Structure 1
Amino acid sequence: NYPEWRFHLKQIDHFNCGVDDMVLLTKIHEDVVRDNLRKRYMDDYIFTYIGSVLISVNPFKQLPYFTDHEVELYQGAAQYENPPHIYALADNMYRNMVIDVENQCVIISGESGAGKTVSAKYIMSYISKVSGGGPKVQQVKDTILQSNPLLEAFGNAKTVRNNNSSRFGKYFEIQFSRAGEPDGGKISNFLLEKSRVVSQNQGERNFHIYYQLLEGASKEQREYLGVTSPDYYFYLSQFGTYTVDDVNDKKDSATPPHSVLHLPCHVLHPALHLLCHVLHPALHLLCHVLHSALHLLFLAFPAYLLGISQSGLKEKLTSRTMDSKWGGKLESILVTLNAEQAAFTRDALSKALHARLFDYLVDAINRAVQKDYEELNIGVLDIYGFEIFQKNGFEQFCINFVNEKLQQIFIELTLKAEQEEYVQEGIKWTPIEYFNNKVVCDLIESKVNPPGIMSILDDVCATTHAKGEGSDQMLLQKLQIQIGAHDHFNSWNKGFMLHHYAGKVLYDTSGFCERNRDVLFSDIIELMQSSELWVIRLYYLFPENLVVEKKGRPSTASNKIKKQANHLVQKLMRCCPHYVRCIKPNETKRPRDWEEARVHHQVEYLGLCENIRVRRAGYAYRRTFGKFLQRYAILTKETWPKWHGEQRKGVLHVLRSVNMEQDQYQLGQSKVFIKAPESLFLLEEMRERRYDGYARVIQKAWRKHNAVRKCVRLRNEASDILLNKKERRRNSINRNFAGDYIGTDSRPEIRQFVGRSERIDFADVVVKYDRRFRVRDLKQVD
């Protein structure tokens, strides 16, 4: 029920359906922006531009304009030629990479459930279809596209706000040859929410892979691995949420991972079975580990699955070896753990096993597709968005910090960089005020003067045992003393509040120190390194060098996240960035349900109005003089095919020749700036007309040449048909007159009927039929 004309730019009623590019709005206000998005959303136009930034509203249904027809429509087309679409952004990235020989990246941002992962899939799918290549290239494409379900199984989960929420960050680099063919890929993962393995909020599930494993296990696997129903495991049954609407765990478990990774089945199959080997005992053991006594018979099956001894498993879960200096000597003391400490050790092992398995899968995919050298690449960043829950803990703090860093990139590369470019080029314009969130990033990650929240947290973890409420209270006290006067920080009795770019967030500090340490004790590492399970040894899931790592302060979770975030920012800053800002229109997850308050909040913290103001106050298009002349030199005879002279004068000559108004452009030190998109469209249309005119001249000459050759060929063929075919031609040379077809001079019997004063003009034989259809030859003479 979606006719094709509805999705063509020329047929859109902009008054009722809103404008395609919000830079063209007559008024710039959050209500106007929100109303424009609502009009388009209600008419199934989910994409809207702000200059080069794409806004995407989650429709919560499958729309019909993601077919091969749209791929063909947007391939090679300019942005303004078709309605806003994520294919247009993907095509622009791909063409810029090939033409400019420059790495590209797209930063997809938005809150959980806004459609970021789906947008990333559409981008990768489009690039895969338009990039061409042979069998080897097709193998790389298949691996890249088919790895998504595998990573989602291990890294996605149902949350309150999203049935398929990415609980990890993923930066996917598609590597290309100089010819633009994808010949490799690389995945960088970070911020995996390991705590979800052992605990979830009400109404949420664990990672998808566990439910897929339980639903899809064969009878043999159930017996061999001890697999049963989800309600048997405490890790999965804390709030009784086992299924997800519109998700078939049994069907999703049918994808053979070895076909995805292109690895031999005998190598990968045991590695995937390791998930069952190592996670089943962790889940099964949770219900019993708090008992006063752990019987060796009870530990037999978990120890068998892990390939370790029963006594070793019991000892490491119930005690811990601590080093102590006494009298200059180092002594080892065996300390018995209480129930809470034992549960902490067990949970740490479970989280480590899942995280290291996930890292192994990512590494396996990279080994299957990654090149040894880099030429060109397109990066797609898909990370869970800004989160504000009723109770926000350490995980939300880390997630929101990374989103602050991404927002900082957006500000640096779009708003701030644009204004600084005008100053450097000497362009006259009116500056626009915007919120620069660098102050918030510094508040979180600064090391000194004053120290940031992460530095204070690391100091508390280093000076306390980081277990229990005492360390969390000490953290809160130090935060109040050192940064309590900061404008973007407030404390309360259970935690603190930060003024993020997306709004104010209350963080509960309970468990902050414990989760920041994220320690896997050396006793557990030694136990796993002693495993007889060849999969653990082959893939080095526990590669730690315990002798070296005992020296110095251990690394913390916040320190790792800070390093990963800064490394990601550096990588993104080396690319030409593109942006997709995703919006979640409602919490009901139903199509055409529009919640004004929710959208208003997202429009505000995404900074859409500020982006529009900068675009409108500034210039929609800017290019260096050389690139501008290269594209538009064809518009005048003086500049085509090459301008001989100063580039600045050549650009000015082109602009004046098309009669562009002077207030629509400015010339900087090295670039030309064009204000309105309509002025750029005028240049593009004139360029297309000029190319069309030249094409018609070439076509005319070519068609004339072909027509002349065809005429000569037909004339020769006609002559060949008549050659030696007419009997009269034998006597044509000796005819007395043109109409003598029977030779009257040599036929005296005919001449006797002609008088002396008469002249013969025509003479031929006439065939006459009588009543009985008998033929009689008559001679007709006129």
Structure 2
Amino acid sequence: MAKMEVKTSLLDNMIGVGDMVLLEPLNEETFINNLKKRFDHNEIYTYIGSVVISVNPYRSLPIYSPEKVEDYRNRNFYELSPHIFALSDEAYRSLRDQDKDQCILITGESGAGKTEASKLVMSYVAAVCGKGAEVNQVKEQLLQSNPVLEAFGNAKTVRNDNSSRFGKYMDIEFDFKGDPLGGVISNYYVLDYSVSMHDNSFEQFIINYCNEKLQQIFIELTLKEEQEEYIREGIEWTHIDYFNNAIICDLIENNTNGILAMLDEECLRPGTVTDETFLEKLNQVCATHQHFESRMSKSSRFLNDTSLPHSCFRIQHYAGKVLYQVEGFVDKNNDLLYRDLSQAMWKAGHTLIKSLFPEGNPAKINLKRPPTAGSQFKASVATLMKNLQTKNPNYIRCIKPNDKKAAHIFTEALVCHQIRYLGLLENVRVRRAGYAFRQAYEPCLERYKMLCKQTWPHWKGPARAGVEVLFNELEIPVEEYSFGRSKIFIRNPRTLFKLEDLRKQRLEDLATLIQKIYRGWKCRTHFLLMRKSQIVVAAWYRRYAQQKRYQQIKSSALVIQSYIRGWKARKILRELKHQKRCEEAATTIAAYWRGTQARRELSRLKEEARNKHAIAVIWAYWLGSKARRELKRLKEEARRKHAVAVIWAYWLGLKVLPHPFFLPTVNSTKPSTYSILNYDSLPLALSLQGSEAASKGDFLFSSDHLIEMATKLYRTTLSQTKQKLNIEISDEYVHNRLNVPSHF
């Protein structure tokens, strides 16, 4: 979303009067009261037409931020509230867009804020011009020149903590794009009195002379600007009566009988020259001048004026009377360096110092007397005035609110004195001698169009025609305004204030109308919203009811479907159960029949088995008896032969029991082979050699410790017969039983 641009006109939210031209009634008291009222509300800037009055606040104010620079950039001078940035922007745009040389004159007494005002002007110009590297370098040099100048030419005084002891003229050159190219700084007379406080003397005299010249050119250029604008707009020019201070300037700078000319003459003449002889000469030449006053003059009107000492003279400047102490005029006007000092400085090794004192060069000794300080300053002022007359002037009048250099203090007597010697009231009178207020047709129509039904809310035709219709509708007297080519001119501030009062009342009526329309719109919007909401709620309720009914139908359908599926399933289940019972019955019958057949077969087999078992038992009993008889015989033989092992066994292939059996020591019988089956529970066979072996066959042994038993037999045989047994491990072997081979 684009940011909304808020415009504040000079006439909006005014604290006092933003432009002194609109002050009513106009006098010294109302002028000071208006400045004080604005000063108390931190409004330190006030206009007199295109002139800016700046009151030193002696503190920092948040009105110089980059946002403020953007607010005043490319704006009409009267479009926003008074500010030094408005004048800076007007001068810069006239220079850049119209190719008109501009000058900004900043005047005021010591401590009024002239140096700070010049810094603000330069900082604004630096902020709005180009941004290239070279341009930034030039801007930085211009901005950094202020600290250098202040270091050489400023000092702390009783009246000002940063008092400038010289006047400076800064000439900044711009290219066609409005970018600064460089600058030249010229300085004027250095003031000793800024350091040491004393009575008005030569320094103050030449300063007041400069102020008189600036006031003269100010009035001339202001009237010239007014006349040019009237001619440009096609308004009839009327003669304006004003005080012309040219007579005061002539009293000071006249080449024949001016004060500076007589001072130079007195300094150059032979003989005894003192300040008293200079005053006597003034009394002779200037006694009849209406702006010169001296107690020792030929005129007897000041003989009894005790406020005028004998060693002083008084000049009635445009800002008031100023008393000058004549002491020191001659010496300060000479302002000469001793020749030996100039020669010593010229002999310095530093090039810069040497260039500053060319008169010390012995090869270029000039016997001509150097110009005096007064003549130098007069020539500098003449050059300055000539330079200013070729440029479009802009003015900043600085005012010092108090002598304490403290914030929030406004001394009316001090401000009144400055208003007088700056000629601000005279400036206002000159400005409002013709038309007090002027404004372009477009902003004028935009501001006051709500006062006429034909122009509100939109005017379709030219802006001038709209303003004419507006003023005719309001019945404003014709002599109170004039139509220019691009502006409307209003003669009396009361007419403008009447328009503002009507506008304020109309804005209140429009605000009431807007509130009424807004409340109606709000109620209608609320009603439409409620109606729309009711429709939405009803639609949603109907939807909910239909959804609920659908869910009920769906649930009922599911119940019905489940019942039908259950009925079908039960029918099928009954059929399956009947089929299963039939199959089970058939299986049971078949099983019973097979069982009967099996039992019959079993009875038959049992009968056969009983018959066979009787035979086997008898045969086994016979074999057992035979084996026992043989065992008994062997035991007897073993006891006789001191057997070393005990064996329990069955003869003729019966299982060898795990009982100890002691092998007898038989010399004629030599075991030849051990055969060990590769099974844990099968027997060990011992093959014998000899006739006895042939008659008895192989021995079979069974033991849970087969390896240990074989080892024991091996060691016993080795110890008895001194022969090694051959041990074979196999899965089967051939057993000789009574010369009958049997396979195991």
2:410 maps to which of 594, 598, 607? 594
1:675 maps to which of 475, 478, 490? 490
Contact 1:155 1:168 in 2 (8 A): yes
Name 2:264's counterpart in structure 1: 458
CA gap of 1:548–1:404, structure 2 versus 1, over 3 A, is farther
SS in 1 for 2:274: helix
Offset from partner CA, 1:573-632 (integer Å, 9 cap, x none): 111111111111111111121212111222223222232233333135779xxxx89999
- For 1:507, the aligned partner's letter is Y
SS in 2 for 1:72: helix
SS in 2 for 1:526: helix
Provide the rounded CA distance (Å) in 1 between the counterparts of 2:463 and 2:387.
34
Name 1:312's counterpart in structure 2: none
Provide the rounded CA distance (Å) in 2 between the counterparts of 1:13 and 1:100.
32
Name 1:490's counterpart in structure 2: 293
SS in 2 for 1:185: strand
Offset from partner CA, 1:458-504 (integer Å, 9 cap, x none): 011111478xxx52111111111111221111124213111112221
Q: Say whether residues 1:407 and 2:237 are aligned partners.
A: no
1:567 maps to which of 365, 373, 383? 383
* Range that drifts further, 434-443 or 596-605: 596-605
| Superposed counterparts of 1:141-156, under 5 Å | 141-156=139-154
Cα displacement (A) at 1:65: 1.0
Name 1:499's counterpart in structure 2: 316
Provide the rounded CA distance (Å) in 1 between the counterparts of 2:363 and 2:294.
41
Cα displacement (A) at 1:185: 1.3
Cα displacement (A) at 1:13: 5.1
Q: Which runs of 5+ in 2 are unaligned?
A: 1-5, 296-309, 447-461, 500-553, 560-744
Provide the rounded CA distance (Å) in 1 between the counterparts of 2:392 and 2:203.
30
Provide the rounded CA distance (Å) in 1 between the counterparts of 2:353 and 2:164.
27
Name 2:276's counterpart in structure 1: 473
Provide the rounded CA distance (Å) in 1 between the counterparts of 2:24 and 2:258.
43
Name 2:162's counterpart in structure 1: 164
Q: Which runs of 5+ in 1 are unaligned?
A: 1-5, 203-389, 635-649, 683-765, 772-782
| Superposed counterparts of 1:142-291, under 5 Å | 142-193=140-191, 195=192, 200-201=195-196
Provide the rounded CA distance (Å) in 2 between the counterparts of 1:10 and 1:577.
22
Q: CA RMSD in A?
A: 4.0
Cα displacement (A) at 1:192: 1.8
Cα displacement (A) at 1:108: 1.0
CA gap of 1:540–1:13, structure 2 versus 1, over 3 A, is closer
CA gap of 1:543–1:554, structure 2 versus 1, over 3 A, is closer
Provide the rounded CA distance (Å) in 2 between the counterparts of 1:147 and 1:616.
39
Contact 1:528 1:542 in 2 (8 A): no
1:519 maps to which of 327, 336, 351? 336
Contact 2:156 2:195 in 1 (8 A): no
CA gap of 1:25–1:179, structure 2 versus 1, over 3 A, is same
Provide the rounded CA distance (Å) in 2 between the counterparts of 1:85 and 1:68.
14
Name 1:720's counterpart in structure 2: none
Name 2:347's counterpart in structure 1: 530
2:36 maps to which of 24, 35, 38? 38
Offset from partner CA, 1:524-558 (integer Å, 9 cap, x none): 32232233445534x45435666666344431110
Provide the rounded CA distance (Å) in 1 between the counterparts of 2:466 and 2:97.
23
Provide the rounded CA distance (Å) in 2 between the counterparts of 1:141 and 1:40.
33
1:577 maps to which of 368, 388, 393? 393
Provide the rounded CA distance (Å) in 2 between the counterparts of 1:667 and 1:9.
21
- For 2:245, the aligned partner's letter is N
Provide the rounded CA distance (Å) in 2 between the counterparts of 1:608 and 1:536.
44
SS in 1 for 2:177: coil
Cα displacement (A) at 1:8: 6.1
Provide the rounded CA distance (Å) in 1 between the counterparts of 2:281 and 2:20.
46
TM-score, L = length of structure 1: 0.54
Provide the rounded CA distance (Å) in 1 between the counterparts of 2:438 and 2:13.
30
* Range that drifts further, 427-436 or 514-523: 427-436
TM-score, L = length of structure 2: 0.57
Contact 1:429 1:617 in 2 (8 A): no
Cα displacement (A) at 1:562: 0.3
| Superposed counterparts of 1:83-162, under 5 Å | 83-162=81-160
Name 1:309's counterpart in structure 2: none
SS in 2 for 1:79: coil
Name 1:47's counterpart in structure 2: 45
Cα displacement (A) at 1:663: 3.6
| Superposed counterparts of 1:304-383, under 5 Å | none
SS in 1 for 2:173: strand
Contact 1:621 1:680 in 2 (8 A): no
Provide the rounded CA distance (Å) in 2 between the counterparts of 1:99 and 1:465.
60
* Range that drifts further, 22-31 or 543-552: 543-552
- For 2:381, the aligned partner's letter is A
Provide the rounded CA distance (Å) in 1 between the counterparts of 2:11 and 2:384.
42
Contact 1:158 1:165 in 2 (8 A): yes
SS in 2 for 1:617: coil
CA gap of 1:629–1:424, structure 2 versus 1, over 3 A, is closer
Cα displacement (A) at 1:58: 1.0
Name 1:616's counterpart in structure 2: 432
Provide the rounded CA distance (Å) in 2 between the counterparts of 1:7 and 1:622.
19
Contact 1:464 1:471 in 2 (8 A): no
CA gap of 1:98–1:629, structure 2 versus 1, over 3 A, is farther
Contact 2:95 2:102 in 1 (8 A): yes
Offset from partner CA, 1:3-55 (integer Å, 9 cap, x none): xxx996699754xx312112222211111111111101111111111111111
- For 1:597, the aligned partner's letter is A
Offset from partner CA, 1:287-336 (integer Å, 9 cap, x none): xxxxxxxxxxxxxxxxxxxxxxxxxxxxxxxxxxxxxxxxxxxxxxxxxx
Name 1:21's counterpart in structure 2: 19
Cα displacement (A) at 1:657: 6.7
1:442 maps to which of 250, 258, 261? 250
| Superposed counterparts of 1:630-709, under 5 Å | 656=468, 662-663=478-479, 665-666=481-482, 674-675=489-490
Contact 2:8 2:79 in 1 (8 A): no
Larger Rg: 2
Provide the rounded CA distance (Å) in 2 between the counterparts of 1:408 and 1:473.
31
- For 1:396, the aligned partner's letter is Q
2:62 maps to which of 64, 70, 74? 64
Contact 2:441 2:488 in 1 (8 A): no
Cα displacement (A) at 1:158: 1.8
CA gap of 1:630–1:543, structure 2 versus 1, over 3 A, is farther
CA gap of 1:616–1:55, structure 2 versus 1, over 3 A, is same
Offset from partner CA, 1:613-654 (integer Å, 9 cap, x none): 33333135779xxxx8999999xxxxxxxxxxxxxxx99878
SS in 2 for 1:81: coil
Offset from partner CA, 1:397-440 (integer Å, 9 cap, x none): 11111111111111111147646986999956775543221111
Contact 2:223 2:430 in 1 (8 A): yes
Provide the rounded CA distance (Å) in 2 between the counterparts of 1:610 and 1:200.
32
